[in-house]
């Protein structure tokens, strides 16, 4: 195994100048020649550090508004020449090309540009060409060139160079791996942005990339490794949230908190406060109300047992009175768009309780893509951002639902979107009163939801199950009438479901015989 490479000559071209002052001074103190371009060169010159303009190496000026400056054999030959290859070295010498031992590049800020919702033309201009080309060249030739794409690695290479002006083989390989990962993530962001601009759902190649923002203690279980990555999009949620207090978020915390915040983001805060309590990525209670405290109480009432150790999300600013009630039970995470100072003071009494402020709600109407890995590949689909079209629904029963039933039906069907299939949601007066999730058949989900409504009533000293007088939503059609009959026996008055079963007439007949109102949406909300 070799002992790495000796560094005599470095090329620096960075968009982000953070850390560059110390880096340039350290390299200069080690008598390493520095080449540079444009703004980077001017920055280094102003430090009083000697720097050579790349154009004097290429013998060609920057052209096309800086689009072409490093795309030249004198640069890429210096990056790609294998130092242990005699023919390579003779070729470089014959063509008066000097080797480059260290390449330090960070790319045009494309991710930041699209986050600012810049114009199409500005985004295009912030697609780096020369940078990725140099990075890939140096990474391919990593036995001869060290490539640095992350400012957090500046100290690493300086410490190694201070020892004997060398960078060891292990570091060279690690830097090359990071370099390829960086260009892959960069290109993935560009590809996905471009696809969004042209609205082309038929992609032959699909790219996913991201930047690690946190290494987690473990994954779903202690023996699994895990980390959090950001995909560069500018969406409000758990990834972008400020953690005000509490322990570090775990893999399961993040997964559940994301599910919780996506759910409450369905509801307009100008119309009502929405509260969702999540456990194992499923809601155990959801409510909307003009009063946030009442919304929280109703959400908790649905299944206070499962709420223990759960995630609580809000679509509006967390208020102190609500915060006081939350501290009465064990809660893992609270997430809200904003949090009042009074609420922060209340929550601060629970030091381990994680408190997150996102700054806004997730745009659930925006098209995004979700990926699920499978053996040998992955599945990709757009997010379920479709809402009920009131003009397309069909009242298929003899009895029409009244206004309150219609409001509760729409509410329950929206919640069903976020419940693992098979999903059954009982709701009354803007609050869930029973939820059946993730069962292998719809009848079991219906029965479980009804049983939970009985348990909830009992927990609050009520003799009548909460499902009595409620409505019920099913994420997919009832394949048989039995699931509907179970809901009728639980005391529901109206049903909303997609319809589309070959036994729809049988199901409609059962609804009519029970005196239920029933709506077909023609829209399914499977959530596997």
Per-residue pLDDT reduced to its tens digit, 131-151: 899 999 999 999 999 999 999
Q: How far apart are CA 366 and CA 369, in angstroms?
A: 10
The contacts of residue 94 (CB under 8 Å, 6+ apart) are: none
Radius of gyration, CA atoms only, the chain: 30
Confidence of residue 180 (pLDDT cuts 50, 70, 90): very high
Task: Using pLDDT thresholds of 50, 70 and 90, give the confidence band for residue 186.
Answer: confident
Under the banding of pLDDT at 50, 70 and 90, the label for residue 113 is confident
Give the number of other CB atoms < 10 A from CB of residue 362: 23
Close Cβ partners of 43 (under 8 Å, ≥ 6 residues apart): 17, 20, 24
For the residues 219-230, what does the mean pLDDT come to?
A: 93
| Number of other CB atoms surrounding residue 300 within 10 Å | 24
Integer Cα distance of 67 and 49 in angstroms:
26
Kindly state the percentage of the chain with pLDDT values over 70.
99
- pLDDT on residue 53: 87
pLDDT band, very low/low/confident/very high, at 60 (cuts 50, 70, 90): confident
Residue labelled with tokens 């009083």: 48
Averaged over 154-170, what is the pLDDT? Answer: 90
pLDDT value, residue 178: 93
C-alpha 390/C-alpha 413 separation (Å) is: 13
> Has 140 been annotated as catalytic?
yes
Cα distances from 152 to residues 16, 129, 158, 239, 310, in angstroms, run 12, 23, 11, 21, 36
Active site residue 418: no
Residue 42 tokens read as: 């001017």
Q: What would the pLDDT profile of 187-207 be if each residue is shown by its tens digit?
A: 888 888 887 787 655 677 777
List, in order, residues 6 or more apart from 457 with CB less than 8 Å away.
463, 464, 465, 466
Cα separation, 430 vs 289, in Å, equals 7
CB-CB contact of 88 with 81 (8 Å): yes
Q: Domains in the chain, start-ordered, CATH in brackets?
A: 5-197 (3.40.50.1380), 235-357 (3.40.140.20), 392-520 (3.40.140.20)
* Set 140, 151, 178, 344: catalytic member: 140
Note if the bond before 8 is cis, omega within 30 degrees. Answer: no
Cβ(424)–Cβ(283) below 8 Å: no
Distance in angstroms (rounded) separating the CA atoms of residues 140 and 83? 13
The mean-pLDDT minimum among 32-41, 60-69, 369-378, 475-484 falls in 60-69
- Note the pLDDT of residue 2: 57
pLDDT, one tens digit per residue, over 330-383 is 999 999 999 999 999 999 999 999 999 999 998 877 777 788 888 888 888 888
Of how many residues is the chain composed?
Answer: 528
The single residue of 17, 88, 280, 350 carrying the catalytic annotation is: 280
Per-residue pLDDT for 80 more than 70?
yes
Distance CA 263, CA 420 (A): 13
- Per-residue pLDDT, 1: 39
Question: Which residue has 């005599």 as its token pair?
Answer: 8
In the 8-state DSSP scheme, what is residue 152?
G
Measured in degrees and rounded to the nearest 5, phi and psi for residue 395 equal -85, 110
**Chain position carrying tokens 């500046």:** 154
Name the one residue in this structure whose structure tokens are 């923002």. Answer: 213
Phi, psi at residue 49, to the nearest 5°? Answer: -100, 135
Q: CB 20: neighbour CB atoms within 10 A?
A: 20
59-76 exposure pattern, b = at least 16 Cβ within 10 A, e = fewer: eeebeeeeeebbebebbb
Report the alpha-carbon distance of residue 364 to residue 513 in Å, rounded: 38
Q: Evaluate whether 525 touches 384 at the Cβ level (below 8 Å).
A: yes
pTM for this predicted structure? 0.83
Distance set, CA 518 to CA 16, 162, 398, 415, 446 (Å): 59, 76, 8, 18, 16
In this structure, the number of other CB atoms found within 10 A of the CB of residue 162 comes to 11
Mean pLDDT across the stretch 172-186?
A: 92
């Amino acid at each position: 195994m070799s002992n790495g490479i000796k560094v005599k000559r470095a090329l620096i071209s960075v968009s982000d100048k953070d850390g560059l002052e110390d880096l340039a001074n350290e390299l200069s103190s080690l008598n390493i020649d520095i080449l540079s371009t444009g703004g980077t060169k001017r920055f280094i010159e102003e430090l009083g550090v000697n720097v050579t303009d790349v154009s004097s190496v290429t013998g060609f000026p920057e052209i096309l508004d800086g689009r072409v400056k490093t795309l030249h054999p004198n640069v890429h030959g210096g990056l790609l020449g294998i130092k242990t290859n005699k023919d390579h070295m003779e070729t470089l010498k014959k063509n008066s090309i000097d080797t480059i031992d260290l390449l330090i590049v960070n790319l045009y800020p494309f991710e930041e540009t699209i986050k600012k919702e810049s114009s199409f033309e500005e985004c295009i201009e912030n697609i780096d060409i020369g940078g990725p080309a140099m990075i890939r060249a140096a990474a391919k030739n990593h036995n001869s060139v060290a490539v640095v794409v992350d400012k957090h690695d500046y100290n690493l290479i300086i410490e190694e160079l201070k020892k004997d002006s060398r960078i060891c083989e292990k570091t060279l390989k690690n830097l090359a791996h990071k370099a390829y990962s960086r260009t892959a993530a960069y290109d993935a962001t560009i590809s996905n942005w471009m696809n969004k601009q042209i609205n082309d759902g038929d992609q032959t190649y699909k790219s996913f990339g991201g930047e690690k923002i946190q290494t987690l203690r473990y994954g779903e279980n202690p023996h699994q490794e895990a980390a959090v990555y950001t995909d560069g999009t500018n969406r409000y949620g758990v990834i972008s949230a400020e953690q005000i207090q509490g322990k570090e978020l775990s893999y399961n915390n993040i997964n559940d908190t994301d599910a919780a915040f996506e759910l409450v983001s369905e509801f307009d805060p100008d119309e009502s406060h929405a509260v969702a309590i999540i456990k194992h990525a499923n809601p155990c209670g959801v409510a909307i109300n003009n009063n946030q405290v009442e919304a929280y109480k109703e959400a908790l009432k649905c299944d206070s047992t499962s709420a223990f150790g759960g995630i609580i999300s809000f679509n509006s600013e967390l208020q102190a009175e609500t915060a006081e009630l939350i501290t009465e039970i064990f809660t893992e995470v609270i997430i809200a768009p904003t949090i009042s100072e009074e609420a922060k003071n209340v929550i601060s009494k629970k030091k381990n309780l994680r408190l997150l402020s996102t700054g806004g709600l997730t745009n659930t109407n925006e098209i995004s893509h979700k990926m699920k890995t499978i053996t040998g590949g992955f599945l990709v689909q757009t997010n379920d951002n479709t809402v009920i079209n009131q003009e397309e629904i069909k009242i298929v029963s003899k009895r029409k639902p009244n206004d309150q039933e219609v409001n509760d039906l729409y509410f329950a069907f929206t919640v069903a979107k976020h419940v693992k299939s098979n999903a059954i949601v009982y709701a009354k007066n803007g609050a869930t009163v029973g939820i059946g999730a993730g069962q292998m058949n719809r009848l079991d989900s219906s029965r479980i939801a009804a049983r939970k409504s009985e348990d909830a009533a009992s927990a609050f000293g009520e003799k009548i199950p909460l499902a009595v007088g409620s409505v019920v939503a099913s994420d997919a059609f009832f394949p048989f009438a039995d699931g509907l009959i179970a809901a009728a026996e639980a005391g529901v008055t109206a049903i909303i479901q997609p319809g589309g079963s070959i036994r729809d007439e049988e199901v409609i007949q059962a609804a009519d015989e029970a005196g239920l109102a029933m709506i077909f949406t023609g829209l399914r909300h499977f959530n596997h």
